[in-house]
Amino acid sequence: MSERLQPGDVAPAFTLPDADGNEVSLSAHKGRKVIVYFYPAALTPGCTKQACDFTDNLEVLASAGYDVIGISPDAPEKLARFREKESLKVTLLADPEKKVTEAYGAYGEKKNYGKTYMGVIRSTVVVDEDGKVERALYNVRATGHVAKIIKDLGI
């Protein structure tokens, strides 16, 4: 079970491949706020809803100074299919070894239909312009989550 981040923590640095195989680093976003969200699997109903919500609200978030990055354990090829199929505009990154997911506390024990197993915990971390954690939200719902973030951030 990975340690959950707290406001004020330094956001763990990362460089991961995007849907096209290009390397994307958190440090490239220094000076802007970044919403980093972790989701279990591309092309599944809940994750599709969440990614579409972020895409639908991307202009609102961007005009308020936020970049959005979605991270899952999927391979870049699957992320590319996800992006094309759903016309997604958010940056999707692949973390197949789950190292970044673990560093952000978004991997751990989950319960589903009475079974306990290890997996990606749907989570959102808001990183400020200086690379510090502003908010860390765990076990979030796929539906309505983006609207709640926008409201909580006062956008």
β-pairing verdict for 91-94 and 66-72: parallel
User: What is the full DSSP assignment across 35-70?
Assistant: EEEE-S-TTSHHHHHHHHHHHHTHHHHHHTTEEEEE
**Tokens linked to 130:** 């200086």
Query: Which of 35, 36, 47, 88 is labelled catalytic?
Result: 47
Active site residue 47: yes
Helices within the chain (DSSP H only):
45-56, 58-63, 76-86, 99-103, 145-152
Q: Are 34 and 70 in contact (CB under 8 A)?
A: no
Active-site residues, by number, are: 47
